[in-house]
Each structure stands twice: as C-alpha cells, then as structure tokens.
C-alpha cells in the first residue's frame, strides 16, 4: 500500500474538495506524459492504479516479433519469453515500465501535469460553489480598496464590489464584515470572477427571507419591492394565512426583525405595506404615511390619479419626490398626485369632495396631532407627474 500517496490524496480531497477519482486520473495522465517524454511516444502505454491501496502499475503493450524495428512498440521473441513462457510471435505482451528510471525532465513534466490538473479542479470547484449562490446574499470581509472598487473576501474566493454597486455614504474599513448580493459569477482562466452589489433591491428581499421565518416558509410573500439604495426602500407583502399579519411578521416584536435589517443596511429606512389586488388600495398603501382622499386607477393604461388633502401634498410626494417615485415603482403605475384644491380645477379628475371617514374629518390640525416627521414640510406644495420627475407648483389661495 502506498500510504504517502493515499494521505496526500485524502488531504487534497478534504481541503480542496477535489475528488480522489479526478486525482487518480491526473496521476495516470502524468505518468503517460512522462513516458512520452522518456520514450518519444506513448501510444501503447497504459497505467493502472488501485483505488484502494494507491499502488500503480505502468506498462507498455508491445508486439512480439522475430526482428525488432521499433523498440518502443515491439519486443523480440526471446525477451518476451523471459516475461511469459507462452509468448509467441504476433502476441501483445505487457512490459512493465519503471517510473524511477524516468529522467529529470520527464519527472518535472509529470509533476506539472498533476499540479495543473489540481489548479484547474480547484478553480472549477470554487466556481461551482459560488455559481450556486448567484442571486443570493453572502457574508464577506472587506480586504482593501482597489481604486474606487472594494475587494471582499468570501472565504475561498475574492469578490469585487464595483463603485456603481456601492451605496453612497457607506464607508467600510478593512476586516469589517458585510453582507453582499452576488450579481454574477464568471469563469475565467485565472479563476472565478465574482461581482457583488450593495444597491440591488434583491439584497433587501434576501435579508428579509433570512430574518423572517414566515417569509422563509411561505406564509408571508414579498410581492414587490422598490429601493433607492442608502435612502429608503418600500416593500409590499401579503399573508397566505388569514391568522398571520404580514406587516407585523416582517416588523417583529418591537421592530426587532426590521431593525436588524436596517442596521445591516447602515440605517436605510424601510417602509412595509400590505399588498392588495385592488390597484387603488395598493396605491393608497404604497403612498403611506400620507393620507389619501381618492385614487382613480386605470389598470389598462397603468396610470393613477391621486387626490390628497392640501396639507398632505408634500408628504405624499416626499423629499425630492422620493415617496411618490418609490410608490410608482412598487405598484407599476404612473402616479399623478394633486391636492384637493388643484384637483377641483384640473381637467380629467373625476373628483368629488369626500372624506376618509363619514364621522371624522381630517383637518390640518388633527393631522399634526397624529403625525410629525421629516416629511411634514411647510414649503411650496409639489405635484408628482411621472415616476422619477416632479414639478413644483404654487397652491392657489383657498377662498
């Protein structure tokens, strides 16, 4: 038994995750290569390795002839009978080749063949391992900055976080652990090239899947997600179990679940709303926390006209149009938001004054008692015309 070879193969299989069968094939090919370098050709050379003991036998099949013309391919009858007494002219006989007799160059070539095969298999194993994790979230360690890109160690391979996949305002220090979304894994001659992202909306989705048990088991389903990396994300969820509150499951007790995701995203705000098959209700939920007076949605044109109280217009639109822009992406509708005063005079708005609740009227005073926040601005009112664009309009003075 070749114990040293067996131990070496066990170590390679355990540390590099390269199968023993692949290594046996590499050894066989290396011995054939060595024979070719030693004898000039190796068409008749065979190598057999016992998979259990790691003992190998290298031989050449030679034809028995009366007069030898090619010593590599032929053997004389006299020499053949020394190996086998029953040998006769025309037979094929196995002649053992002593690998110890190979010269230095042949041995080096054989070694190179084995090492090359090991490197190829190692790259292939790493590629397959991370290719299976494509479109998933992994934890990496920040190594260094390469220009404006960041090199991140994922364990057995390094990934590149390009500048355009980084969130503005995020600064990482070497050895810091971060979660990244694997965009793409490419197989190159120098090994797998892994591209990761911190801005992709799927990063937030995968984080919720890993943090919220109900999403992992299918009880709660993420229907849509819209994200402006580093600032705010809106996510629409629905429950497949009437006894489970989808939003509550995602938020967790005292906000524990969503807060852990917010911390991982360096403070990025996350709005979780209920999904609704009715586009009007969905748009109303998506524009949260703003209160909506009326929604007129056209499912065919994928457009919606929204009326909000005068004092809620800037809240509905959000800072620099962000709230309305994210709501448009979340719902897939082009949203036009107007205040009650604007809607009364605007053509195309089938608007009649009505309230959220027949018994209680929302006034500016009651709203201020209910909600205060960064979007409660008192500046010029804004009207959202298109997902991604907004224009400022002066609100006509009310009589």
Domain-ending residue, one of 130, 154, 169: 130
- pLDDT at res. 77: 83
Report the predicted TM-score, pTM, of the whole model to 2 decimal places. 0.69
State the pairing for strand pair 294-298/303-308. Answer: antiparallel
Regarding whether 29 and 70 lie in a shared domain, the answer is yes
Tell me, yes or no, whether 154 and 102 share the same domain. Answer: no
Q: Are residues 209 and 187 in the same domain?
A: no
φ, ψ of residue 345 to 5 degrees: the values are -95, -10
The domain tally of the chain equals: 4
Same domain, 316 and 329: yes
141 shares a domain with 38? no
Query: CATH no. for residue 354?
Result: 3.30.300.20
Residue at which a domain ends, from 197, 221, 238? 197
Using H for helix, E for strand and C for coil, what is the string for the chain?
CCHHHHHHHHHHHHHHCCCHHHHHHHHHHHHHHHHHHHHCCCCCEEEEECCCCCCEEEEEEEEEECCCCCCCCEEEHHHHHHHCCCCCCCCEEEEECCHHHCCHHHHHHHHHHHHHHHHHHHHHHHHHHHHCCCCCEEEEEEEEEECCEEEEECCCCEEEECHHHCCCCCCCCCCCEEEEEEEEEEEECCEEEEEEECCCHHHHHHHHHHHCHHHHCCCEEEEEEEEECCCEEEEEEEECCCCCCHHHHHHCHHHHHHHHHHHHCCCCEEEEEECCCCHHHHHHHHCCCCCCCEEEEECCCCEEEEEECHHHHHHHHCHHHHHHHHHHHHHCCEEEEEEHHHHHHCCCCCCCCCCCCCCCCCCHHHHHHHCCCCCCCCCCCEEEEECCEEEECCCCCCC
Domain match, 184 and 205 both: no
Q: What is the CATH number of the domain that holds 121?
A: 3.30.1480.10
Report the CATH number that the domain containing residue 163 is assigned in CATH: 2.40.50.140
- 382 and 290 share a domain? yes
Q: How far is CA 349 from the centre of its chain?
A: 44
Domain end marker among 275, 310, 337? 275
Is 139 found in the same domain as 102? no
The reported pLDDT for the residue numbered 344 is: 80
pLDDT at 347: 66
Range of the domain at 182: 134-197
Q: Are residues 283 and 231 in the same domain?
A: no
Q: Are residues 23 and 126 in the same domain?
A: yes
Kindly state whether residues 144 and 113 are assigned to the same domain: no
pLDDT of residue 286: 93
* pLDDT value of residue 188: 86
Going residue by residue through the chain (399 aa), what tens digit of pLDDT does each one get? Answer: 577 888 888 888 888 888 888 888 888 888 888 887 777 777 788 888 888 888 888 888 888 888 888 877 888 888 888 888 888 888 888 888 877 777 777 778 888 888 888 888 888 889 999 999 999 999 999 999 988 999 999 988 999 999 999 998 888 999 999 999 999 999 888 888 999 999 999 999 999 999 999 999 999 999 999 999 999 999 999 999 999 999 999 999 999 999 999 999 999 999 999 999 999 999 999 998 899 998 989 999 999 999 999 999 999 999 889 999 999 999 999 999 988 888 887 766 655 443 333 334 444 444 344 333 333 333 333 333 333 333 333 334 333
Residue 51 shares a structural domain with residue 163:
no
């Amino acid at each position: 038994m070749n114990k040293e070879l067996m131990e070496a193969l066990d170590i390679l299989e355990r540390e590099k995750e390269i199968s023993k069968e692949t290594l046996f094939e590499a050894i066989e090919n290396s011995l054939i290569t060595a024979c070719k370098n030693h004898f000039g050709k190796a068409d008749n050379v065979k190598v057999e390795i016992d998979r259990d003991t790691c003992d190998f036998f290298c031989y050449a099949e030679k034809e028995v002839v009366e007069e030898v013309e090619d010593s590599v391919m032929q053997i004389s009858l006299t020499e053949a009978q020394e190996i086998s007494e029953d040998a006769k002219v025309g037979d094929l006989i196995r002649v053992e080749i002593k690998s110890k007799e190979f010269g230095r160059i042949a041995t080096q070539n054989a070694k190179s063949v084995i090492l090359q095969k090991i490197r190829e298999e190692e790259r292939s194993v790493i590629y397959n391992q991370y290719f299976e994790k494509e479109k998933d979230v992994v934890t990496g360690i920040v190594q260094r900055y390469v220009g404006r890109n960041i090199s991140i160690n994922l364990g057995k391979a390094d990934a590149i976080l390009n500048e355009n996949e980084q969130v503005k305002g995020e600064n990482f220090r070497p050895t810091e652990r971060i979660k990244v979304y694997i965009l793409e894994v490419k197989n190159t001659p120098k090994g797998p090239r892994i591209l990761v992202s911190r801005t992709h909306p799927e990063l937030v989705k995968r984080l919720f899947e890993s943090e919220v048990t109900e999403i992992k088991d299918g009880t709660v389903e993420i229907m849509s997600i819209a994200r402006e990396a580093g600032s705010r994300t809106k996510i629409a969820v629905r429950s497949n179990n009437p006894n489970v509150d989808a939003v509550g499951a995602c938020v967790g007790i005292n906000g524990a679940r969503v807060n852990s995701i917010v911390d991982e995203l360096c403070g990025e705000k996350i709005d979780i709303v209920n999904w609704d098959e009715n586009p009007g209700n969905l748009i109303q939920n998506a524009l949260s926390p703003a209160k909506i007076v009326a929604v007129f949605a056209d499912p065919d044109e994928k457009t919606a006209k929204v009326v909000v109280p005068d004092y809620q217009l800037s809240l509905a639109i959000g800072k620099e149009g962000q709230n309305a822009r994210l709501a448009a992406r979340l719902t897939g509708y082009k949203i036009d938001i107007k205040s009650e005063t604007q809607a009364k005079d605007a053509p195309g708005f089938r608007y009649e004054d009505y309230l959220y609740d027949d018994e209680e009227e929302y006034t500016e005073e009651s709203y201020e008692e209910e909600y205060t926040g960064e979007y409660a601005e008192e500046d010029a009112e804004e009207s959202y015309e298109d997902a991604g664009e907004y224009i400022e309009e002066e609100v006509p003075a009310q009589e």
